[in-house]
Structure 1
Amino acid sequence: MIVGNGAVDRRLASHIDAHDLVIRFNLCGSFAQAPSRTDVIAVCNTGRPAREMLGSAAWHRHPAVRDAPEIWCVRPARLFAAERARIVRDHPELDDLCDDYTGSFVTLCDNTGRRCLVIDETTHRRAAISLSTYAPQPYVTPSSGLIVVEHVLREWPQADICLAGFDHAGWAGHPFAAEHRLIDAYVRRGLVMRLERHV
């Protein structure tokens, strides 16, 4: 169960809990709408989002963050280091986006008895290739949601993968229109399903 930060009907909470693995993102923006179990927090481990989460007592105390036994870092440091020149050239206001905080998340996991996973470069390349079919406008990086979907499809190809709270809207640096079309294609192929359509 992959729960995005978009709208989630409160009535879906019990259906979310019924899954074997529940993944949420960053600030867990949809948790208050449908509070339920959390097994993984997938985080942007570079730039301002990482720095703000790590420095926020409220984030550390959030029930989903506090209870999750795993943290997944969605941005491999080497890939984003290689992308820094391009990103700063095209988006000078994002000069800190590639600053890597993976070590701080690893330390957090070590100190709290959790597992830390860094999603690898292969998953990012796979996401970029899949997105290219839909001719996205120039973008900075795929969303954490899409990277996690690609990771789960690769790691557990036989699993029943369900999505909720995927509004495909937010930061302009993500290619949300193309991601929406790609996820809809995955739904048509039976690779994933949207929970809202099956309850």
Structure 2
Amino acid sequence: MGDEMGSSADTNHGNRNCVLDIYPLSGYYFGSKDAVPDKDETLFDRTQRMKINYAEYGLRTCVEAVIMVELFKHPHLLLLQVRNSFFKLPGGRLRPDELETNGLKRKLSSKLSANEDGSNTDWEIGECLGMWWKPDFETLLYPYLPPNVKRPKECTKLFLVKLPASQKFIVPKNLKLLAVPLCQIHENHKTYGPIISGVPQLLSKFSFNIVEP
């Protein structure tokens, strides 16, 4: 009996740890700032840049943020839309020898804050939810590292980022910050690509607690 009670207590404790508080979208302010330059005009340009960077620095590591809000009593994911054509999670490439959390805070401040140094924002970086790998320079991505791949070219890590009840998001003019419902994203590879469309599954261990103002 003692073992069973202990097991139940452990389960309840684990459930409490997997509750994610999310706040209404109405509590956030959205503004704009100067546009950021787009490094890649074409897929060829991106591939060439990746090859040059890999030759100099090795494996390219990217960090991206999973940021949740509430709208219409449903969890929504914050996404950046580029040129009204494709979507991406806020984040980007780490600098050589840069810590993952530091790099993600830097990227979030660059894309979502008034000041790029993040002096007005205290980003709360949570756990790593998943990792995606590029065995080569092409766009194909895997949610695991294939065992026959000894020198992968890119690793993308997704981190949960928890928001306070209110915050200002100041976004470059050439980007749009959108709140998209999880039900619309789930397995919608055609619109959102493999990483974003897989986020609802990564969040499946959480229970969403909508915190009313």
TM-score (norm 2): 0.25
| Structure richer in strand, relative to its length | 2
Bigger radius of gyration: 2
| Structure richer in helix, relative to its length | 1
TM-score (norm 1): 0.26
The structure, 1 or 2, with the larger RCO (C-alpha pairs under 8 Å, 6+ apart) is: 2
